[in-house]
Structure 1
Amino acid sequence: ELSILTYDDILIKARDLIRNNPEVRNYFRKKYRYLLIDEFQDTDPLQVEIAYLIAGSGDSTDWQSTKLRDGSIFIVGDPKQSIYHFRRADLPTYRHAEDILVGQGEKKMLYSNFRSTPTIINWVNKTFSKIIGEAGDEHIDPPYTPIRAHISDETHIKHSSIVFLLPKIEDVCELKRVDEFREVEANYIASTINKIVSNGWKIRTEDGVRSISYGDIAILYMANTQNTIYEQAMLNYNIPYAFINADHILEETHEIRGLKTILEAIRNPYDDLAVLGALRSSFFAISDEEIVDYYIHHGKPDITREIHSNGHISIALNILHSLHSNFINRPIYELIDEITASTNLFLRTPILRKDRLVNSLMELIKSTAIEKTEDSTFTLRTLINHIDNLKADNEKKTINLYDPHENTVKLMTIHQAKGLEFPVVILAKLCSGKPRGGPGNVIKDFLGRRIEVKFTKTIKTSGYDSLAEKEGLIEDAENRRLIYVACTRARDYLIIPLITSPEKDMVLSGQYEYFKDKLPSPQEVYENNHLGKVVDNCYYIDPCELEMKEREPRSDLMKILKMNEPTEEYEKERSELVKERQSFLNREESISMALMTPTGIEEFEKYRSDEEMEKAGIPKKREVGRLVHEIMEKVKLDGSNINELTELICEYEDEKTRENIKEMVARILSMPVIERNRETARFIREMPFTYQYDNGQIVSGRIDLVIIDNDELIIVDYKTDSIKEGEWKKRAEDVYKEQMLTYRDAIEASTGKRVREIYLLNPFYGEYRIDQE
C-alpha cells in the first residue's frame, strides 16, 4: 500500500523467487557453488531455506527434503550462543538443518577458547554444564558441550579470575523493591571498579601485562531498564562511562524530544501543543502549575510577541519568541547552537552526561543541518522529520556514541556484546526479574509450518496453549544461554555481584534463579567467613574494603499495592502517602527545584472549588471532566452504582448534564481493558506518586487507575477531551504519551513491578493503547 518493502518482505520475496522458479534456482546454484555460513545459530528460518535451496540439487522445492550437492555448504555455529529468538533466529530450525547436513555430510567439533583464562573456562564449564540443557529437549535446549582454554598462563591474575561481589548485610536487609537492589548493586559495582583500577589489578596485552584502566571494563546486562540508576552511580563515583546503544539513548532522551518540540514551536508559533510541550521540556522545565497560573492571569502563552512580565515562563516565552523571529535569517545549525546556549541546557545536564549525550546527539543532528546548508529543500520541517526518522535509520543505529579507544567503562546489553571481548566483565541486573517477553498473540512454528493466534484470554486457536508453553521453554533456555554468552566475553576477570535479601534466607532470586545450587549462597559466604579470601578458585571481595557512598532513601508505594481497596487501612495509608508527598513537594518548591505534575491542567483543576474555577473563567467542559473523574474514583467497576453516584456528585447540575456525565462514565466502564480485567485483577484508584529524575526534576501526580494482573501493572488514564475526531490519536501521541511514560517510569522505579500496558480511555473516542517502544 505504501510501496515499501521491509527486511522480512525482501527475504520472503527472495525465498519465493528461488523456491518457485527453477531457472532462478539453477542460476544461483551455478553462481554460488560453495556456501560458507558463520554464526549459523543466528540464522532465521527464511535464510536457512534460501541457503539449502541454493546448495541443493534436483527439482525439490522443500528445503527439508532437498539433496545437498557434495561440498556445497559449510556451516559454523554454536547452539550455546543462540540468543536471537526475538529476531526470528530459531534453534529448532538450526538443529533440524544440522541433522540434515550431518546426515549427508560430516560434523567437526571445535572446543578451544582463545580468549579467557583457564580459571574462567573451568568455572564456566562447571557451572553451565548444569544450567544449559535442563529443558531435556535437544531442539530447544541442546546439552552443554565443554570448552577448553587455549591460554595457560594466568600468573598475572590478582586473587582469581572469578570474583564474587557481596554487600554488607545492613545495606540490603530492609530492601524489597527491584530498584532498591539495583541501586545497591550499582553503587557496589562502581566502588569495585574504582578499587580494582586504583589497586592496579593486572591484565594481559599483546606485549605482556599492564594495569587495568577504566576502558578495559564492560558492564553487561540483559535489558536496557533503569539504566539511569547505573549512570548515577558512575557519576557519583567519578567514573568515566559510555552507554553503547545509540538507538536506546535516542528513544529515552528527554533532551532530544525537547529539541524536536522546540523546533516545531519555532516553525509554527500557533501550534499550541508544541508551545506548551516546549515550555514543559527539559530545556525550560516549566511546571504545569506555572503554565496554568500564567494562563489564568495572562491568557494563552504566546511566542509571536515579546512578553513584558516577570517570571520563569515569561523568560522562556521571550526566548522562544526570539528564536522564532530570527530563524528564517540564519542557517539551521546555528539555530540549534542558540537553542542550547539560550536555554542553559549544558547547566541542566550532569557533566559526564553532557560529554556523552549533548555533545554526541546534538552534534549528530547539527551535522545533518550543516551538510544540508546549501540544499534549498532542507527546511526546519525536514530537520524535524529527520529527528523522527533518526531512530529508524539503519545507518544511525550502528553509530556508537563513544570512542572505543577512550578510557571509559562501557555499559551495554549482552546482545550488543556478542562477538566482543573485554579484559573485565561485570554482570549487572541479575537481581531483578527475568526479561520482558513471553509468547505474543501470534506464535509461529516454522518447522511445523503453522500459526496459532490468541484473540482474548478465552478465545484462541486450538494449538495456541501448547505452542505458547513451548515458546516459554525456548525463551527460558535462551535466557540461560544469554548469561553464558556474557560470561564468555571476559578475558581476565569475571565479576558477579550477589545482591540479595537476608529476609529470604539468602536465597538467590530474579535471574540468579538460573544459578540455583550452582553458585555459593550468600549465607554460606557470610557464615564461613569467605569474604576477602579465595575459596575454590573464586575470590570474594570484602565489602568492608570498599569505599561506599550513602544511599538516599526512596518513597514506598508497596503498602498501597498490597492492599485491597476500599478498606479503611487502604485509605489511611494512601492519605498518609499523599500528605508525605505534599510535604516533600512544598519543601523542594521552597528551594526552587524544578517541579512537573504530568497530570496537567485536568489534575490542577480537579482540586479547585467551583467558585475558584468560575472566577478563573475555566470553561464548563472542564467541570464535566472533573465530575467524570470524581465519579470514576468511586464507582463500582460493574457500573451498578452509577445512578446514585451521579445524583450525589452532580446534584447541582441540570438533568441533561447529569445524563451526559452518566453516559460518559458508562462508556469508560465498558471499554475492553476494564472488561477484560474486571473479574480477575485487582484495582487501585488515584494512586499518588512522586519521582525524582537524576537531573533533580521532580515529577508528582496521581494515576487514575492501576490494574494489578499477575504481578504486572496496567496503567489507565481517563481523558475527557472533546476535540475533532481525527485529532484524538495525534493528541494522544503528541501530548499524552510523554505523560504516560512518565507515569510508567515513576511506578516501575517505585514498586519494582513491570508496567505491561498503558491505556488512555476517552468516552468520545474509545480506548487508545500507548506504544511503550
Structure 2
Amino acid sequence: MNKQIIDEVARHKIEQHLTQNFLVEAGAGSGKTTSLVNRMVNMIKMGTCNIWEIAAITFTKKAAEELTTRFQTKLENEWRVEEDPSKKQNLESALANFDQCFLGTVHSFCSCILRERPIEAGLDLQFREIEEREDQHLAIQAWNNFFEKIRVKDSERYHFIKRLGIPVSDLRQCFLRLIAYPDVDWVYVEKEPPNISRVYHSFLNLLKEANHAIPSEPIDGRYDKLQELILQAIRKNKYENHETDAMKIGLLETFNKQLTITQKLWSSKEDAKYYLDKIVDFVDMKIQPLLEKWYEYVHGHIMPLMIDIMHEYEILKKQMSYVNFHDLLIKTALLLKENSEVRGYFQEKYRSILIDEFQDTDPIQAEIMFYITAENLHEQDWTRCRPKQGSLFVVGDPKQAIYRFRRADIDIYNKVKELIGNHGGEILELTMNFRTLDSVTNSLNSFFEEKLPIQATEYQAAFKPLHSYFNDNHSTFSGIYQSIIPKEYVNKEEMIQFDAFQIADTINKMIHQGHQPKEFMILTRYNENLEVYYRALLENNIPAHLSGEITLADMTDFQELFHLVEFVKDPTNTVQLLAVLRGPFFGVSDQELFEWKSSGGSFDIYWTPSEDNAVESTFDILQAFEQLQTYVNWKYQYSPATVIEKMIEDIGFYPLLILKGYGKNECQHLSSIIATIRSASTFYEAAELLNELIFTKRLVLNMDVGANAVRIMNVHKSKGLEAEIVFLANPVKKIDVKERISLHIKRTNTTSYGYFIVQKLNGFQTKMIACPPEWSIHQTEECQYLIEEETRIVYVAATRAEKALIISTSEKTNKKNPWNELVFAVQPNRIQVDDIMASEITEKEEQRKINVSNDYINELGMWINKHIQPTYATYSPTDDKDDIYQLDIDREKGGGMLWGTLIHEAFEKLIRGMKIENHIEDLLQKYGFSLLRKHEVYQIIQSFKLTKIWDQLQTAENVLTEIPFNVRLSSEDPLYKKIRKTKDQHYPLLVKGVIDLAYQYKGNWYIVDYKTDRSKDREDIIRLTSYYEHQITLYRELWERIMRTSVHQILLYFVFTDDICIV
C-alpha cells in the first residue's frame, strides 16, 4: 500500500504558479526532475514562455541529456492528449523548435553567451575553449616561461627564493592548485624575518648537553628515536653549512613532532626522562612559535610570486585566445555585470532560467543568474539584484552539498536562499521519497535526525525526513544489512581484497536467484581501490562498469607496456630490459636470466653468442632480443604513435586484456592512449605522454548507461543515480579532514578572500613550507565545513538505494570505516543469502558459450583472410637511409639518428625566432645526450648563422620550416615509376615526409635539407651529395606539384663540415 503525497501543495505550486520565483529544496528521490519538466511543459502550454526563451541549466552533461529526453517525451505526450487548440498549438510549436531551447551545463550556457557577444566580453572572435588537461599543460608552460624570465632578468629574486630553502619545483603543484580559484584574492602579509640564531644556538646547546647522557656505544646495538635525532642534529651542525636561516629552520623542524624514548638505552632512566621533558618543553615554548613566524615570513614572499605566475598564465591564455572552464563563468559574470545593454539583450532572449543541483555549482553561477534575471539592468552588486517574477527557478538540496573541493560553497547556497526569499520568491520543500522503501528510510531518518540540526546553520543543512511513498511488503530482498570482514583479516590490503570478493560472491549468488547485474551498485568513499572491486566482479564473470578516477598503472599489464616503451626509447637501459624480459610479453624466468648471465651472456639486445662463448638456454632470450631490435628499428621508420601501435599489436596486448578478464572499457583506455600520443612528434615525447597517461589519475565514465552491468564508483560520481541494491564498500579508509586542509575561502558580497598554505610532499606526508597569519583559525573554520560535509556524503551514499543497503564492516575494528557512524546507529543485521554455489553453471550453458566462441573465431578468421591483401603502400624519401651505411665512409663518433633529430629541432627553434641558447640543455636531456655537448650544439648553431642560407633567411619573403607533406600517387603517375622499382605492384602509393627548410628569397624558392653525417674526410662530401641527390630531387618535384610553383635551387647543408652543396 502506498502513502499520501504530503508535499502535494508544493508540487502544485511548482507546476502551476508559473510567474513566481521559487527555490525548491528537493530531498533525495523526491522526483525533482519530474517537477522541473512539468513546470517547463506547463510554461509552454500556458503560453508563459516560448521554448526558445527557456534555459535549463544542469550540473553535468549526463543530467542535461536525461533532462532533454524527458522534456521532449513529456511535450510529445502532452501534445497527444491536449484538446484545447491554443495549448496544443503552443506544444506543437515547441516540438517544432525543440532544438532552440537551451538544455545544458552552466559552462555551455556561458559559452553560448560569450560566442554571441565576444567583443563586449573582450575576447577574440575565434576564442577556443580548452579542456582540463590542455589547460594544465598551458599553466606549466606559463610556469616555465616565468622562471626562464626571472632567472635572466630578475636573478636576485630567483636566488632569494632559493635561499628560503624552497626548491622551485616544490612550488609548482601549489601554483596548479591556485589557478582553480581565479576569482579569489589571496591573503598574505609581508613580514620581517624572525631572529632564528638565538633559538637555534640555545637549542643546539641543549642537544649537546643531552648528548652526554647518550652512551658512546649504543645499548643493545641501537639508539631510540630521540637519540638518533640528537646525534643527527649535532653531526649536521658540525659538517654542514648552517649559515642560512633556512638550514637552521630545517634542523629545528626535525624535532617538531611526537618525540619518544626507550629509557633503558640511556645512561640512566632519570636522564632519559629529564632530557625528553626539556626538549619537548623547548619545542613547545620556543621552536613552534619560531616556526610559525618563519612560515608566515616565507608566505609573504611566496604568495606574491604565485600571483605573478598566475598573471603570466592569464597573459599566455589571452595571447593564444584560450578560455578554460573558470574563464567562461568569470567573463560571463563580468560581461553581464558591467554591460547593461548586453544584460537586457539576454534577459529578452532567456525569459526563464531554471537551475538544477544548485547546491553543488560554482559560486560565480549565483552572480550570473541574478544579473541575467535582475529588474534593474544597472545594478552591479549581485546581492542587490531583485529577479523579475517568474524568471528564476532554482532546485537544490543542501543535504547533498558535497563538492566543496570543487569550489561549491554552502555559504553561497544559503545566501541565494535568503535573497530569493527576500526578493519576493518562495522557498518550497519536497520531502516525499519515490525511490526508497520505508524499511530503509525509517532507519536512515533516525540516524540523520541525530546528525543534522533542526535549523540550518552556517555549516550544515537542516534535517528533513525522507517520507517514503512505498511500503515494504517484504516480497523482495530489502532493508539495511552489513557485510562483515572476519577478524582474522587485519592487513589493509587483505581486508579490501576480502571485502571485494565477498561482495562479488554475494552478487553472484543473488544473480543466480534471479537478480540482474544492473540492479547492483558498489560505492566507495574515495577513488582508491575501485579497481579491486572491479577485478573481483570480472573474475566472477559478472559484467561491471567502473566510473571515477583511476590510475591505469594499478593494472599491471599497463605497467608492463610502459616498461617496454621505456626500453625502446633507450635500448641501453638494462633495468628496463630486465623488466621487459621478465614480464608477460616474453616470460623469461629468473632462473633463465641467471643461467644466461652465468654462462657469459650480456644484457644487450645487439649481443650475440660466438663459438667461444656459447651460452646455454639461449633460444628464448635471443628470440626476445631479435624482437626488441625490430621494435627499436621501427622508431626510425614510423611515427611514434605508429611504432607503439605496432608493438601493441605484435605483443598481443588487446587479447591479453581480454584473457585476463578485462572488458571493453580497458580496451577503450588503450585506444584513448594511442589517440593522445598521435600528437607526439618524437618517440621521446610519446614515451613521456604514455608515462603521464598510465601513472596519472584519469577520469573514467560509464557511458553505456543502459547496460546490464554492476556499477562501481565513488560517492561523488553517484549523484542523481540509484540502484535497487547498493553496497557501501571499502571499510578501511577514512581520512582525518584536518590533514587535507590546505586552503580556506571566506566569501563576502563583493570579494572572496583566500588563505592558502604552501606544502610539499615529503614521502607519504606533507610538510609545511609557508602559511598566512592566524592560519590555525582559518584551518579550524575550514575543518568545521569539511566535518559537516562528511555527514552529507554519507547521506548521498545511503539514499542511492531503492530496496536494500549493504554496508561493509570489519569484525576487528571500524576506526577507519567511513560508514562506521551509520552502522553504529542502525545496527544492521548480517546479510544472509541462500547458499548457492557461486561457480554453478549448467553443462549446456558452458557448451553453448564454447560453441559461440568457436563460431566467432572461425568467422573472424574468414574476415581476416578476405581483407588481408594490401590496398596501398607507403613510401618516404628517407626510407633508404639505412643503405648509407653501406658506403665506405670513415665517420667521427657522436652522431646517429637521435643526434640528427636533435640538430633538426634546434634549427627549427632557431628559425622560428626562439632564443635557442635557452633550449639547448632541454634538447640534450630530451634526446638522452650529455650536457657536456652543450657547447658543441651552440657552435653548430653559430656556424649556421654565418652561412649564406641564414643571411637570405633574414630578408626572405616567406620562411617555412619542418614542412610535412603527404601525396597519393596512382600507378600511372610518372613519379610513381621513379619511386617504385618493382613492376608487380599496382596499388596506390602514399608518399609522406618532412622538408627541413623552404624559403622564398627575391621571388625564388629554395629548399634546404640538413645532413648531420660526421665524415672524417671532406672528400666524402661529394659521395654523400651524390647519394642524397635522389631524396632532395624528389622533394623538389613534390614541392612543385603541391605548391604549383618552381624551385630555383635545392641545397644540402652538411652540418659537421659546414658545407653547402647545390644539387
Aligned with residue 103 of structure 1, among 411, 415, 422: 422
For residue 497 of structure 1, what is the aligned residue in structure 2?
808
Q: Normalising to structure 2: TM-score of the pair?
A: 0.42
For residue 72 of structure 1, what is the aligned residue in structure 2?
391
For residue 355 of structure 1, what is the aligned residue in structure 2?
663
How far off its partner does 1:82 sit?
A: 0.9
Return closer, same or farther for 1:463/1:11 CA change in 2, 3 Å cut-off.
farther
For residue 161 of structure 1, what is the aligned residue in structure 2?
479
1:216, 1:424 within 8 Å by CA — same for their partners in 2? yes
Return closer, same or farther for 1:284/1:412 CA change in 2, 3 Å cut-off.
farther
AA in 2 matched with 1:13: K
For residue 147 of structure 1, what is the aligned residue in structure 2?
466
2:807, 2:819 within 8 Å by CA — same for their partners in 1? no
AA in 2 matched with 1:226: N
Q: CA deviation digits over 1:37-91, x for unaligned, max 9? A: 1110111111222222222243332222333332321100011111111111111
Aligned with residue 83 of structure 1, among 402, 418, 421: 402
Return closer, same or farther for 1:275/1:184 CA change in 2, 3 Å cut-off.
closer
For residue 121 of structure 1, what is the aligned residue in structure 2?
441
Return closer, same or farther for 1:316/1:408 CA change in 2, 3 Å cut-off.
farther
Find the aligned partners of 2:399 and 2:504 in 1 and give their Cα distance: 30
User: 5+ unaligned residues in a row in structure 2: which ranges?
Assistant: 1-141, 143-315, 760-767, 840-919, 929-1063
2:523, 2:728 within 8 Å by CA — same for their partners in 1? yes
How far off its partner does 1:273 sit?
A: 8.5
Q: CA deviation digits over 1:88-141, x for unaligned, max 9? A: 11111111111111111111111222222222222222222222349x862211
Find the aligned partners of 2:591 and 2:451 in 1 and give their Cα distance: 54
| 1:481 correspondence with 2:789 | no
Aligned with residue 715 of structure 2, among 414, 429, 433: 414
1:431, 1:500 within 8 Å by CA — same for their partners in 2? no
Indicate the SS of the match to 1:116: strand
Q: CA deviation digits over 1:479-522, x for unaligned, max 9? A: 22112212221122221233231xx6xx76532343275122xx
For residue 51 of structure 1, what is the aligned residue in structure 2?
369
AA in 1 matched with 2:371: L
Find the aligned partners of 1:459 and 1:327 in 2 and give their Cα distance: 46
Matching of residues 231-630 of structure 1 within 5 Å = 231=534, 233-234=536-537, 237-245=540-548, 247-250=549-552, 252-256=554-558, 258-259=560-561, 262-263=564-565, 265-266=567-568, 269=571, 283=585, 301-303=603-605, 310=618, 314-326=622-634, 339-340=647-648, 342-343=650-651, 345=653, 351-356=659-664, 358-365=666-673, 387=690, 397=699, 399-400=701-702, 403-434=704-735, 438-447=739-748, 449-455=752-758, 457=768, 460-501=771-812, 510-515=817-822, 517-520=824-827, 540-542=830-832
For residue 180 of structure 1, what is the aligned residue in structure 2?
494
Find the aligned partners of 1:731 and 1:154 in 2 and give their Cα distance: 70
Return closer, same or farther for 1:140/1:30 CA change in 2, 3 Å cut-off.
same
Find the aligned partners of 2:590 and 2:774 in 1 and give their Cα distance: 51
Find the aligned partners of 1:516 and 1:129 in 2 and give their Cα distance: 15
How far off its partner does 1:258 sit?
A: 4.3
Find the aligned partners of 2:838 and 2:736 in 1 and give their Cα distance: 29
Indicate the SS of the match to 1:157: coil
Aligned with residue 189 of structure 1, among 503, 510, 520: 503
| 1:92 correspondence with 2:394 | no
Return closer, same or farther for 1:31/1:516 CA change in 2, 3 Å cut-off.
same
For residue 8 of structure 1, what is the aligned residue in structure 2?
326
Find the aligned partners of 2:416 and 2:385 in 1 and give their Cα distance: 11
2:558, 2:694 within 8 Å by CA — same for their partners in 1? no
Return closer, same or farther for 1:453/1:432 CA change in 2, 3 Å cut-off.
closer
Return closer, same or farther for 1:539/1:725 CA change in 2, 3 Å cut-off.
same
Find the aligned partners of 1:731 and 1:497 in 2 and give their Cα distance: 51
Return closer, same or farther for 1:474/1:300 CA change in 2, 3 Å cut-off.
farther
How far off its partner does 1:547 sit?
A: 6.7
Aligned with residue 221 of structure 1, among 505, 512, 524: 524
Greater shift in the superposed pair: 30-39 or 310-319: 310-319
AA in 2 matched with 1:110: L
Indicate the SS of the match to 2:365: helix
Indicate the SS of the match to 1:141: coil
Find the aligned partners of 2:686 and 2:388 in 1 and give their Cα distance: 53
Indicate the SS of the match to 1:218: strand
User: 5+ unaligned residues in a row in structure 1: which ranges?
Assistant: 201-210, 521-537, 550-723, 733-773
AA in 1 matched with 2:719: K
Choose between structure 1 and 2: higher helix proportion: 2
For residue 42 of structure 2, what is the aligned residue in structure 1?
none
Q: CA deviation digits over 1:605-632, x for unaligned, max 9? A: xxxxxxxxxxxxxxxxxxxxxxxxxxxx
Relative CO higher for 1 or 2, CA cutoff 8 Å, sep ≥ 6? Answer: 1
Find the aligned partners of 1:50 and 1:470 in 2 and give their Cα distance: 28
Find the aligned partners of 1:321 and 1:74 in 2 and give their Cα distance: 66
AA in 1 matched with 2:381: D
AA in 2 matched with 1:139: E
Matching of residues 197-216 of structure 1 within 5 Å = 197-198=511-512, 200=513, 211-216=514-519
Return closer, same or farther for 1:292/1:97 CA change in 2, 3 Å cut-off.
farther
For residue 606 of structure 1, what is the aligned residue in structure 2?
none
Q: CA deviation digits over 1:583-639, x for unaligned, max 9? A: xxxxxxxxxxxxxxxxxxxxxxxxxxxxxxxxxxxxxxxxxxxxxxxxxxxxxxxxx
Q: Which structure has the greater CA radius of gyration?
A: 2
Q: Normalising to structure 1: TM-score of the pair?
A: 0.56
1:166, 1:543 within 8 Å by CA — same for their partners in 2? no
Indicate the SS of the match to 1:518: helix
Q: CA deviation digits over 1:401-422, x for unaligned, max 9? A: x744544322211112211111
AA in 2 matched with 1:498: T
Find the aligned partners of 2:609 and 2:361 in 1 and give their Cα distance: 61
Find the aligned partners of 2:482 and 2:823 in 1 and give their Cα distance: 15
Find the aligned partners of 2:746 and 2:706 in 1 and give their Cα distance: 44
Return closer, same or farther for 1:278/1:165 CA change in 2, 3 Å cut-off.
closer
Return closer, same or farther for 1:289/1:51 CA change in 2, 3 Å cut-off.
farther
2:547, 2:699 within 8 Å by CA — same for their partners in 1? no
How far off its partner does 1:426 sit?
A: 0.9
1:192, 1:546 within 8 Å by CA — same for their partners in 2? no
Return closer, same or farther for 1:194/1:358 CA change in 2, 3 Å cut-off.
closer
Q: CA deviation digits over 1:705-748, x for unaligned, max 9? A: xxxxxxxxxxxxxxxxxxx997999899xxxxxxxxxxxxxxxx
Find the aligned partners of 1:391 and 1:56 in 2 and give their Cα distance: 48
Find the aligned partners of 2:472 and 2:834 in 1 and give their Cα distance: 31
Find the aligned partners of 2:531 and 2:518 in 1 and give their Cα distance: 20
1:131, 1:514 within 8 Å by CA — same for their partners in 2? no
Find the aligned partners of 1:728 and 1:454 in 2 and give their Cα distance: 36
Corresponding pairs, count: 512
How far off its partner does 1:423 sit?
A: 1.8
